[in-house]
Amino acid sequence: MTFAREHADASDKKTPNIMSLDVARPTAGSHPKMAEELAYKLESLVMERGWPIGQILGSEPELIEQFGVSRAVFREAVRIVEHHGAARMRRGPKGGLIVTAPDLRAVQRPTTLWLDYANVSTSDLYTVRSTLEMTCVGIVAANLTESGAAELRAVLESERSADLEGIREGASHQLHVTIARLSGNPALLLFVETLAFLTFERTHDLGFQHGEFADVSKAHSAIVEALIAGDAALAQHRMRSHLSAAMSYYQQRADVNESFVADA
Ligand SMILES: [Zn+2]
């Protein structure tokens, strides 16, 4: 279980040292390096043009000519750009490299994997979540609209009616993600949602009980109540307590599960 690694011996060689984590660097002039550089150029072009979704940047022969690369390098670059979700190649007479919208989930998954691989501790995870979510709560308390309030109430409602299956599927993270989205700051949404996913990955197999979820639901209601009242300080206080309680709970639970496994 992922969670157990947190308690692993510090000398465990399988635990990567964050300072030494780096990307592989292909040698200059090599195929992958040239393709990577071209991919960056093509992505820069998309950013400069302001993401005109559906627009053709050029046909394959045009772009090969424009950037002065071989077909092999161009195709490898397209593979990278497609993987990043910035554009895709449409074949056929009216084809070409078309600008696409990157998928938020596709961006989050590698980040979640990297953080887990880098062995981010649960307390580090919650330190960052707490900082980001305090900011979200402050913004939302000051700017909540009627439709935003309705959205928060709807999330609470679906939480209350969630069965154990729904809870195990991550129903309890929806409120955190919704508050991040209502902040209107895409950077907050990206990181809060990514960290909520990682929290979920690490905790969904801890044997969450329905009664315990009722406490979470109550804490969520209290946070929403403060947000709707526009009381930023109270909402932040409640969010901080809630996250800190959740962290202690998860850590205790992980310890119990671990000793259970060790005894078995
Ligand atoms: Zn929560």
CB 108 within 8 A of CB 180: no
CA 206 / ligand 1 centre spacing (Å): 16
CA 176 to centroid of ligand 1, rounded, Å: 6
Do 155 and 175 touch, CB atoms closer than 8 A?
Answer: yes
Compute the distance between CA of residue 24 and CA of residue 193 in angstroms, rounded to an integer: 28
**Among 69, 72, 2, 77, residue whose Cα is nearest residue 35:** 77
pLDDT of residue 156: 93
What spacing in Å lies between the alpha carbon of 48 and ligand 1's midpoint? 38
Q: How far is the CA of 104 from the centre of ligand 1 (A)?
A: 21
How many Å lie between the centroid of ligand 1 and the Cα of residue 14? 32
**Residue 158: partners with Cβ closer than 8 Å, 6 or more residues away:** 171, 174
CATH 1.10.10.10 fits 31-99, yes or no: yes
Give the Å distance between the CA of 243 and the centre of ligand 1. Answer: 7
The CATH class for the domain spanning 118-263 reads: mainly alpha
CB neighbourhood size of 246 (10 A): 19
Contact present, 191 and 150 (Cβ < 8 Å): no
Residue 264 has pLDDT above 80, yes or no: no
Ligand 1 center to 239 CA (angstroms): 8
Q: DSSP string spanning 59-89?
A: -HHHHHHHHT--HHHHHHHHHHHHHHTSEEE
How many Å lie between the centroid of ligand 1 and the Cα of residue 216?
6
Q: Which amino acid is at 146?
A: E
Highest-scoring range by mean pLDDT, 10-24, 80-94, 198-212: 80-94
Per-residue confidence band for 251, with pLDDT thresholds at 50, 70 and 90: confident
Pairwise pLDDT comparison (253 vs 256), residue with the higher score: 253
- In tens, the pLDDT along 138-173 reads 999 999 999 999 999 999 998 888 776 666 666 778
89 CA to centre of ligand 1 in angstroms: 41
CA 174 to ligand 1 center in whole angstroms: 8
Confidence bin at 130 (pLDDT 50/70/90):
very high
**Mean pLDDT on 181-206:** 89
pLDDT at 255: 66
Q: pLDDT tens digits for 9-65?
A: 444 445 666 666 655 555 555 677 999 999 999 999 999 999 999 999 999 999 999
Ligand 1 centroid distance, CA of 80 (Å): 36
> What's residue 209's pLDDT?
61
Say yes or no to pLDDT of 211 above 60: yes
CA of residue 39 to ligand 1 center, whole Å = 39
Alpha helix (H) ranges present in 144-231? 146-160, 164-168, 174-182, 186-203, 210-228
**How many whole angstroms from 211 Cα to the centroid of ligand 1?**
15
Distance CA 13, CA 5 (A): 12
Tell me if domain 31-99 and domain 118-263 are identical in fold: no
The pLDDT assigned to 8 comes to 42
How far, in Å, is the centroid of ligand 1 from the Cα of 79?
39
The domain locations on the chain are 31-99, 118-263
Give residue 223 CA to ligand 1 midpoint distance, Å: 9
Rounded to the nearest whole angstrom, what is the distance from the C-alpha of residue 203 to the centroid of ligand 1? 13
CA atoms lying within 13 Å on the CB side of residue 116: 20
Tokens representing 163 are: 């069965």
